[in-house]
Chains A and B, each alone.
Chain A
C-alpha cells in the first residue's frame, strides 16, 4: 500500500490537460466511425506526448486492436521493441478504463501510471472486474498506480452518442431506451472500486473527499466543447508532438 501511495501522484493541471486531449481524440474516433475510446501516452519527465491510440477493432479483423495497443506499437517502433526502460517514465491517459487484456499488457511492459475517465463495466482491468494493476499473478514487480474519474461524464456521453448512432443504423433496433439519448443522468461513481479513501485524498485533495463519500463526479459541469464539436485537427497536433518527441529523445533510447 505504501508503495502504491508513493507512485500515486496528486492530480495536476497537466493531468487534466492531457485528459482533455485524449477526450478530443475520442471525439475524433467517433467522427471516423470507430468506438469513441482514445488514449495518449505522455513522457512524464518532459511532459511530452509520445504516442496515441484509437480503437481499431472495427477495421482490423481482430478483437485485440484496442487503443492502448496502437499506442504501444508506436512506442515500440520509435524506441525499438526491446526497450523497456522508457515505460517507467510514461503515464497513460485513456478515456475508458483499460480492459483486462490491456491492463495486463501495460503492466508487463512496466508502465507506472494510468489516469482514466470512466470505468469499463464489462471488461475493466483496473478495478471494475479485476484489479490487474495491483495483482500478484501478472508481473507482480510492476504494480502501477491507476487514478479514475477525470472527465468521466464526457467519456460516458461519447459512448452514449456512439450507441445511439449504432442503434439507429441497426435494421432491428433493440429497445427504445437505447434510442433515447440521456444527457442528464449518470450512474454513481464507485470510487472505492478503484482507489481507497486515503488514496483519493492524496490524488484530489482532502477538500474533495465528499465526492468519494457521495459517489459524485469531481466536476459538476460537462465540458461540452470537448465532445460536441468535431476535433479534426487534434490528431495532427498530437502527431506533431509525437514526431517532435521522437526527434529529440528517441535516439537516446535507441542507443
Chain B
C-alpha cells in the first residue's frame, strides 16, 4: 500500500470522494460505540513470549477470520512478570474443547482465562476514540482512520471506469428512446481475469418480473464459464472463473434488495452505479429502507460501492418505486 501522500489518485478522505467523481457509499459508521467480538485469552509467563509469538504466527494468525491488526496481542497482567495474550477469535474457535485441542501441543505453560475478552472488531475513526476504547476494552494500535486506509488501498482505473459508464449510459438512453423502455437499466460485469465486459439490459418487459439486468448478467457469466469449461480441452491454461469473484459491476441505477444480495452471493469486488433509486435502492444509507446490503456486518461478506457524482452521464428517469 502506498502512503496516503504518495497516492497518485486525488482522494478526499473527509468526504470519501475519489477524483471528485466517485463517492464511496457505506453505512454511516461514525458510531462512538464499537462492535465487540469475543476472543480467547490466556496468561503466560513473560519468559515464554518467544514461543508464544511463534505459535501465534504459525498456527493461528493466518486462519483467523477476524483481523487483529488494530489490536495489541499482548498486555501486562496484574501479576508481575506475567502477560495476558489474545489467542484467537470465537469466529475461529467456538467451543472450549476445540480451544483446548489447539493449545494441547504448545511449547509453553499457560493459564486459560475464565472469561473471554471482548474487543472492538475494528479500530475507531478518531484518535480520541482510540484512547477511550483502549482504556475501556483492550489496548489498540492507532493506524489512522480505518476507512482512510481502506480508500487509500483501493485501485481505480478512471479511464476504464468512464468508458464502461459511458457504454451503459448510451445503451440505457437508446433503450428509452428507441424501444420506449420504461425500465432502461443496463449493467456491465467486468471479469478481473481477462477484463472482458459483459453488458446486459433489463428484461422485464419481454419476460419475467425478475429479469433485472444484474440477475441476467450473473447468469450470463455462468453460461459463458460453462461453455468455456466444456471447451477447456482445446485451450488449456485458462483461469477458471468462480461465480463472479472479484468482478467489477457497473450499473445505471442503484440495485434493489434482490440484486444487491445477488451481488453478495456472487462475491463481486466492487459496484459502481450512477443514479440513486430513492425508494427502492438498497445501497445508499438514505435510499429505501437504508439497508446498505453491501456493508452489513451481519452478512459476513461485503463489496465496495461507489456512486458516480459527476454530471457526465445523463440517464432516462425511472419511476422511483421500480426495483432495479
Contact = CB atoms under 8 A, between A and B. Distances in A.
A140 B321 CA distance: 9
Interface string A78-119: 000110100000000000000111011100110000000000
Contact of A138 (B266, B267, B280): B280
A105 B265 contact: no
Interface string B163-188: 00000000000000000000000000
Contacts of A170: none
Interface residues of A, number: 33
Contact of A101 (B225, B244, B265): B265
User: Contact size class for B?
Assistant: 35 or more
A81 B208 contact: yes
Contacts of B323: 104, 108, 138-139
B152 interface: no
A177 B94 contact: yes
Contact of A108 (B95, B210, B299): B210
A81 B288 contact: no
Interface string B213-236: 001001101100110000000000
A86 B302 CA distance: 35
Contacts of B293: 100, 130
A17 interface: no
Contact of B257 (A84, A132, A176): A132
A199 interface: no
B256 interface: yes
A1 interface: no
Interface in B222-269: 222, 225-226, 241-244, 256-259, 261-262, 264-267
A25 interface: no
Contacts of A12: none
A129 B299 contact: yes
Contacts of B282: 137-138
Contact of B265 (A61, A64, A82, A136): A64
A105 B243 contact: no
Contacts of B261: 99-101, 104, 123, 125
Contacts of A6: none
B193 to A, nearest CB: 14
Q: Could you say which of A103, A105, A136, A140 has the most chain B C-beta atoms within 10 Å of its C-beta?
A: A105
Main secondary structure of the interface of A (DSSP, over half): loop
A130 B219 CA distance: 25
B296 interface: yes
B222 A62 contact: yes
Interface string B132-159: 0000000000000000000000000000
Q: Could you say which of B209, B221, B259 has the most chain A C-beta atoms within 10 Å of its C-beta?
A: B209
A72 B210 contact: yes
B258 A63 contact: no
Interface string B272-287: 0000000111100001
A248 interface: no
A135 interface: yes
A122 B225 CA distance: 27
Contact of B218 (A64, A100, A108): A64
A139 B324 CA distance: 11
A135 B290 CA distance: 11
Nearest to B229: A61
Interface string A119-147: 00011010001101001111110000000
Contacts of B298: 129
B97 interface: yes
A249 interface: no
Contacts of B242: 61
A76 interface: yes
A-B pairs, 7 with minimum CB distance: A137-B288, A63-B265, A104-B258, A101-B261, A100-B261, A61-B222, A104-B257
25 contacts: A61-B221, A61-B243, A62-B218, A64-B266, A72-B208, A101-B258, A101-B261, A101-B265, A104-B256, A104-B261, A105-B258, A108-B256, A123-B299, A129-B298, A135-B257, A137-B256, A137-B257, A137-B280, A138-B282, A140-B321, A175-B93, A175-B95, A176-B95, A176-B97, A177-B94
Interface of A: 60-64, 72, 76, 81-82, 84, 99-101, 103-105, 108-109, 122-123, 125, 129-130, 132, 135-140, 175-177
